[in-house]
């Protein structure tokens, strides 16, 4: 019997780390050629959507029908409240993939009991990090021991050291924008000589990797993240990383590649960045080629390697398939949405697009008039 692992995902048109992980895991299942298991990515809000910002070979599901006998659905935590009750209602087994334990209760205050029920009825709970697992088990103690760890990997063909570097500091301005603005502003006000500060924004994955392979320092503004990958990618591309761990990053945030800053301590952030810059002057050994740094990067690469990721993803896929085969059902395929519900989805999508265009337009006008956006 063919089992299809259906990953549900939102229709974002800008690079999102969590979506990148979902696409990668779906690809792993298909590339493994495991007997009787395949995977599709399902974007219910827009069946025609494709993630053009990432090079991938993902197979997409282009209809709303699900088969209780063959389909096993994976919901991201941010969509569990929206789709979990419906899947339960039509008899579809599902897992919840939690990539950020701080988004477990992202619904309204009246939905806590419903969220707890959605998690209780899930066949499996997947967790991206130790910090995320801790959040899940704290929120839902009855799930203790039922959480399945899932790894994620960084592409070594893109994020690797060895290319010529220049005196440049990279950062992502969309993360904690006010913190990023304060830190980079104070750095520019200091005497940083021939150092450039390079924002990474609106880039494809290839462009991000190319930028990080040439910079020396990466400033992390991670905020409440289950497993923020940009600091890992930056370190593997030969950067020294200064900044916030986002909590999930604590399990890899070790010297000499990473310098931890208490969130909100802007002046300490600037001081540590200036100190890190000084390591690249004065005639000492280059931190990028220093044996201690090389060994640390090798350890980090092993932690975020494809073999480790493949093993956890396929362990999950086999468990999901066994849940379907061990408890077969004769229920026929069913549509996830009625026609009325589909229209509501489309109207909500149009509302979100209109809101995005209005906000983008206002920001553009303000930037031209040189007015503050907040």
Whether 3-153+306-337 and 168-303 share one fold: the answer is yes
| Token reading at 217 | 């320092």
Residues of the chain short of pLDDT 50, as ranges, are 373
pLDDT of residue 108: 58
Give SS3 for 163.
coil
Q: What is the pTM of this model?
A: 0.86
**What is the structure's pLDDT at 33?**
72
Query: Where do the structural domains in the chain lie, given as residue ranges?
Result: 3-153+306-337, 168-303
Q: From 218, 225, 287, select the one nearest 251 (Cα to Cα).
A: 225
Pairwise CA distance, residues 147 & 159, whole Å = 30
> How far apart, in Å, are the Cα atoms of 329 and each of 6, 121, 323, 333?
18, 17, 11, 11
Fill in the DSSP letter of residue 147: E
The per-residue pLDDT for 357 is: 65
CATH superfamily of 168-303: Glycogen Phosphorylase B; (3.40.50.2000)
Residue 221: strand pairing partners: 244
For residue 162, what are the contacts with CB-CB under 8 A and spacing of at least 6? 213, 238
Q: Per the structure block, which two tokens stand in for 253?
A: 């945030």
Q: What CA–CA distance (Å, rounded) separates 292 from 287?
A: 8
CATH architecture of 3-153+306-337: 3-Layer(aba) Sandwich (3.40)
User: What are residue 357's phi and psi, to 5 degrees?
Assistant: -65, -40
42-86 pLDDT per residue, tens: 999 888 998 888 777 889 999 999 999 999 999 999 999 989 999
Determine the pLDDT at residue 35: 74
Q: What is the DSSP pairing of strand 196-199 with strand 168-171?
A: parallel
What pLDDT was estimated at residue 372? 54
Instruction: Provide the edge-to-edge strand list for the sheet that holds 37-42.
Output: 60-61, 37-42, 3-8, 71-76, 94-98, 124-127, 147-149
- Residue 216 phi/psi, 5-degree rounding, is -110, -30
Contact 287, 293 (CB under 8 A): yes
């Amino acid at each position: 019997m063919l089992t299809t692992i259906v990953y549900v995902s939102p229709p974002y048109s800008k690079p999102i780390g969590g979506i990148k992980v979902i696409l990668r895991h779906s690809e792993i299942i298909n590339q493994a050629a495991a007997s009787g298991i395949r995977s599709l990515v399902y974007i219910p809000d827009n069946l025609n959507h494709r993630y053009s910002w990432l090079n991938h070979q993902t197979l997409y599901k282009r209809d709303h029908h699900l088969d209780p006998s063959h389909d096993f659905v994976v919901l991201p935590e941010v969509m569990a409240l929206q789709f979990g009750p419906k899947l339960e209602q039509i008899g579809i087994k599902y897992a919840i993939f939690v990539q950020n334990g701080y988004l477990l209760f992202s619904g309204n205050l009246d939905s806590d009991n419903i969220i707890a029920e959605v998690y209780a009825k899930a066949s499996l709970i997947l967790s991206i990090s130790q910090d995320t697992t801790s959040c899940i088990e704290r929120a839902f103690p009855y799930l203790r021991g039922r959480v399945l760890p899932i790894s994620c990997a960084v592409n070594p063909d893109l994020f690797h050291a060895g290319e010529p570097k220049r005196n440049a500091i990279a950062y992502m301005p969309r993360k904690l924008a006010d913190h990023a603005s304060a830190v980079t502003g104070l750095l520019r006000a200091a005497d940083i000589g021939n150092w450039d500060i390079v924002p990474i924004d609106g880039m494809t994955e290839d462009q991000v990797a190319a930028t990080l392979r040439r910079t020396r320092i990466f400033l992390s503004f991670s905020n409440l993240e289950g497993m923020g990958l940009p600091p890992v990618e930056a370190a593997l591309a030969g950067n020294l990383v200064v900044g916030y761990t986002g909590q999930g990053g604590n399990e890899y945030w070790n010297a000499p590649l990473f310098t931890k800053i208490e969130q909100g301590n802007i002046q300490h952030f600037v001081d540590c960045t200036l100190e890190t810059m000084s390591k690249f002057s004065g005639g000492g050994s280059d931190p990028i080629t220093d044996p201690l740094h090389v060994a640390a990067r090798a350890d980090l690469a092993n932690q975020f390697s494809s073999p480790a990721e493949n093993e956890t993803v396929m362990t999950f896929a086999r468990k999901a398939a066994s849940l379907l085969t061990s408890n077969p059902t004769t229920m026929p395929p069913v549509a996830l949405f009625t026609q009325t519900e589909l229209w509501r989805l489309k109207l909500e999508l149009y509302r979100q697009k209109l809101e995005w265009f209005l906000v983008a337009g206002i920001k553009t006008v303000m930037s031209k008039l040189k007015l503050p956006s907040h």
